[in-house]
Amino acid sequence: MSTDQMNNKKDKIVIKEEKKIDIILINWSTFKDRIKFFDEIIARLRLEGTPICIAVFTLGFITKFWLIYLLGIIYIFGILTLDLLHFRLLMESIKGAQEIEDRIGSKLLNVTQKLTKRSRTVIHIIGVIILYGILILVGILLIIFNLLLIELSY
């Protein structure tokens, strides 16, 4: 046996079957924690970001200054970007948990499979597009309305 083969044999770590199961469960648990974390961030972004955008639009309406509406639109694009980023990370975490559940093939470890359906994800994406689309459209319409009022007042 050559020296390289002996070194390779020493470098390999033998993991007992019970330990493999523990490692898989730890990985699965980590994915579940990440799913909860990203889900909470997305909910917070939407629950706090949308009212702030509406408040900025209201400020623009009160001051009748079109630039404030533009700031509201820029703000909502920032919230949308963060939302999409965290939604992508959420979907990656769900995928990782599902892969572990598929590999184990156990009926005891299938929470992700039961809670995640493609149809729900599609409905979710459509709802997000509608929410942010309406906010952006309202901002654009407010800018146009404000500029028209400025033109008509001269």
Category of 109 on φ-ψ map: left (φ > 0), alpha (ψ -120 to 50) or beta = beta
Would residue 116 count as lying in a domain? yes
- Split at pLDDT 50, 70, 90, the class of 14 is low
Would residue 144 count as lying in a domain? yes
Structural domain that includes position 136: 17-153
- Split at pLDDT 50, 70, 90, the class of 44 is very high
Would residue 7 count as lying in a domain? no
Would residue 48 count as lying in a domain? yes
Look up the pTM and report it: 0.74
Would residue 5 count as lying in a domain? no
Whether 112 contacts 101, CB under 8 Å: yes
CA nearest neighbour of 117 among 94, 89, 96: 94
The total number of structural domains that make up the chain: 1
CA contacts within 13 A on the Cβ side of 105: 1
Would residue 6 count as lying in a domain? no
